[in-house]
Amino acid sequence: MRRTPIKIDAQIISLIVIIIGIIIIGIILAIIARVERGLLGIILAGLTSVILIYWLKEILKMVKSEWVKEEVKREDWNYDIIKESDGLIIVAEVPGPEEEVKVRVINRELEIRGGKNFKKTLKLDDDMEITQVSYVNGILQVKLKK
């Protein structure tokens, strides 16, 4: 049985980091208030809160930048369709490795699968069959015949 990876949204991660940060700030403030009563305790608690908030913002920036890169890679898909008299040639960027790249035609749709859970479908105008498939350096070329 193959497990599918759990997709976690960047907003959920941001919310989790903020909640954890608030809990940590509360614990630190409680400890400092108990140990250092008076003006020094208030100053230390405020300074600790400011530093913790700064680091939480930095962690959020880092997490968001990593998630945005992954989303951009999946949304941007470059491909060309070249029409010929007897069929089509489709040239597309598909993440590998080569063993994971699969192509098939089902109900007038060309399904392309690749590494990193990549899956795209293209609608075809006519019933076609795959005559040739090649995959070199991340570029897939599929020849289809009517």
Closest CA to 24 of 61, 59, 73: 59
* Mean of pLDDT values over 55-83: 72
Q: Is-contact 10 68, C-beta < 8 A? A: yes
pLDDT category of residue 113 using cuts at 50, 70 and 90: very high
Q: 3 CB contacts (<8 Å, ≥6 apart)?
A: none
pLDDT higher than threshold 50 for residue 72? no
| Residue 10: both structure tokens together | 């960047």
* Mean of pLDDT values over 22-40: 76
Angle subtended at Cα 131 by Cα 123 and Cα 102, rounded to the nearest 5 degrees: 65
**Which of 134 and 29 is assigned the larger pLDDT?**
134
Strands (E), the chain: 79-84, 87-93, 102-106, 109-114, 118-123, 129-136, 139-145
* Mean of pLDDT values over 121-143: 92
